A and B are shown apart, each in its own frame.
Chain A
């Protein structure tokens, strides 16, 4: 029987090693796997490279992980937000590395990793500071940058419904980066609002097939009224 459900956070986080690259889903607070991030804080892995759209908020979750000195490097599109106080301080002090990636390039680098495409050419960022050190190639009269796939050891994602095979569906804009992150990691751990019986998800509405997911934990934390 295929059963990817885990009951405890310790099971969910088991085996995450120091030095891992960890993808963290969500766009703002929406679709962000808050409890799994807290679980990673508890689990203790350090020297991490974290990939997320933003660079944490306040002193919880990803910001807490950074504050504890466990994140060596951030890869993100928009590190500076009103709440990114921890990141700003660490960055100014030279205690965290930063790689800024345009949002579409970040998503495509993860999609490519999951799809077996080692690198791709994109028009985004040609001629800008973010093109520094990257190969440029003219194709059909237009310039493109070579960008490489972004593989990860772990992805933490949040979904709306899941079953024991790890099939996932998302709610509204909670989908965002989660499906491409699920594809790009060796170990994808999903937290779900609702755990449903195998067969309850309508097959042609499944967004992330269970083949991309290794563990699922039922963590209802916020529901519609």
Chain B
């Protein structure tokens, strides 16, 4: 892989900073679903001056921060089965109504982690092989098609340096053509009709550096 900058020049974001960067773009009043894994951390960085309604697949609208130690309520968990709290104004529904909100387009933003995102907006985040014996899909396919906006939060490459932003996903798809924006440890990239458009890059990284780490042509 061509490499025009040394790793030490590039100020790649850590996972917490990636979550914080994405959180800055969430707008007042949005209903937001944060996927399991890295996206869940976005809730730790929500702008305190805005009211944002966090949804969880198990039927919660208006989740608050995680409870203080010793204050956990056994009956109050999020989709990742972690203890959570409720904000004043929260409401609860059953699973079918919760996913009605998802498919019905009532969620303004969903943030999912991903193995791969393709330049046409396809996302693969649930199985790494067609032969995976018992893959676990959870609510990812519903979230992938239902939210008004789907953003992916992911490392730009695999640990081995293979691009995860690609022309076409090689892993089994979660949803087709629905990702609108990608936040990685290196860049913010919009998925446009013409392909991946670079909106922002971390300091020390050139456009060519980023292109070298990406499996599809980037647009400026």
Contacts and interface: CB of A to CB of B under 8 A. Distances in A.
A35 interface: no
A91 B138 contact: no
B173 interface: yes
B8 to A, nearest CB: 36
Interface stretch (B12-20, B38-46, B141-149, B154-162): B141-149
A16 to B, nearest CB: 24
Interface stretch (B24-32, B91-99, B185-193, B209-217): B91-99
A199 B143 CA distance: 40
The size class of the interface chain B forms with chain A is 35 or more
A100 B137 CA distance: 7
Interface in A53-105: 55, 77-81, 87-88, 91-92, 98, 100-105
Given A103-B57, A104-B142, A172-B75, A78 B96 contact: no
A177 B146 CA distance: 20
Contacts of B135: 80, 100
Contact of A171 (B75, B96, B136): B75
Interface in A2-57: 27-31, 55
Interface string B48-77: 000000001111100000000000011111
Contacts of B133: 91-92
Given A103-B99, A124-B146, A128-B141, A88 B134 contact: yes
Nearest to B74: A222
A224 B73 contact: yes
Given A128-B173, A130-B137, A173-B58, A28 B81 contact: yes
Contact of A103 (B130, B137, B175, B176): B137
B130 A126 contact: no
Contacts of A127: 173, 175-176
A195 interface: no
B194 to A, nearest CB: 22
Which secondary structure characterizes the binding site on chain B? loop
B64 to A, nearest CB: 13
A104 B77 contact: no
Contacts of A77: 136-139
B74 A30 contact: yes
B47 interface: no
A140 B130 CA distance: 31
A163 interface: no
A166 interface: no
B138 A103 contact: yes
Contact of B75 (A78, A110, A111, A174): A174
Contact of A102 (B75, B76, B96, B139): B139
A176 B134 contact: no
B141 A124 contact: yes
Contacts of B176: 126-128
B136 A78 contact: yes
B102 interface: yes
B172 interface: yes
B144 to A, nearest CB: 8
A12 to B, nearest CB: 22
A129 interface: yes
Contacts of A130: 137, 141
B103 interface: yes
Contact of B96 (A101, A108, A125, A173): A108
B134 A80 contact: yes
B116 interface: no
B93 A175 contact: yes
Interface of B: 56-60, 73-78, 81, 92-96, 98-100, 102-103, 127, 130, 133-142, 144-146, 172-176
Given A91-B133, A129-B130, A172-B75, 14 more contacts: A77-B139, A78-B137, A80-B136, A103-B99, A105-B141, A105-B142, A107-B96, A127-B175, A129-B172, A173-B77, A173-B92, A175-B92, A178-B94, A179-B96
Interface of A: 27-31, 55, 77-81, 87-88, 91-92, 98, 100-105, 107-108, 110-111, 122-130, 160, 171-180, 207, 222, 224
8 contacts: A27-B95, A91-B134, A104-B146, A105-B99, A128-B176, A129-B127, A172-B75, A175-B59
